[in-house]
Amino acid sequence: MLADNVESSVDALEPMFMDALKRLSFGIKIIRVDVNMQIGQTPHGPMPMVACIYTAKGRLIGPEHDPAQITMIPQYVRDQEFIDEQIEQGCKALRDAIAMQLVAGNGKLDLNNLDLKQFGDNS
């Protein structure tokens, strides 16, 4: 029998992920977000998780250079502070990946997609 108040974990967590991304993605431009259910491995075995997959605009030309990050949260979590911590780590990893692109790309930037706010331009 299905309970009367069944809640979708994705529907409950997606606004929390989006809120965290809006606040914590400074210096990077998030261009794609997908929130879905996945199975994650834990020390106790496989567990249903809500995954937030987010892609940032890379500094090199071409979509193959857009780094992505996945943050997976147990489906029962409803704690914005915990989600913020996980998204903050993911955004830091994206910033690091983009910084490495500058090294690998010999400093060549995609000037059409440059986020000037990271350099102090708030216009």
Would strands 68-74 and 45-56 be described as parallel, antiparallel, or unpaired? antiparallel
Global pTM reads 0.79
Q: Name the nearest CA neighbour of 58 among 23, 89, 86, 96.
A: 96
Specify if 35 maps to a domain: yes
- Number of domains present in the structure of the chain: 1
- Is the pLDDT higher at 18 or at 4? 18
- Segments forming the whole domain that contains residue 21: 9-116
Specify if 51 maps to a domain: yes
Specify if 98 maps to a domain: yes
Per-residue tokens: 6: 């069944």
Q: What is the mean pLDDT of residues 33-52?
A: 95
CATH number at residue 42: 3.30.160
Alpha helices, DSSP H only, in 25-109? 80-104
Q: Which residues make beta-bridge pairs with 69? A: 54
What span, in angstroms and rounded, lies between the C-alpha atoms of 116 and 110? 12
Specify if 74 maps to a domain: yes
How much is the pLDDT for 9? 93
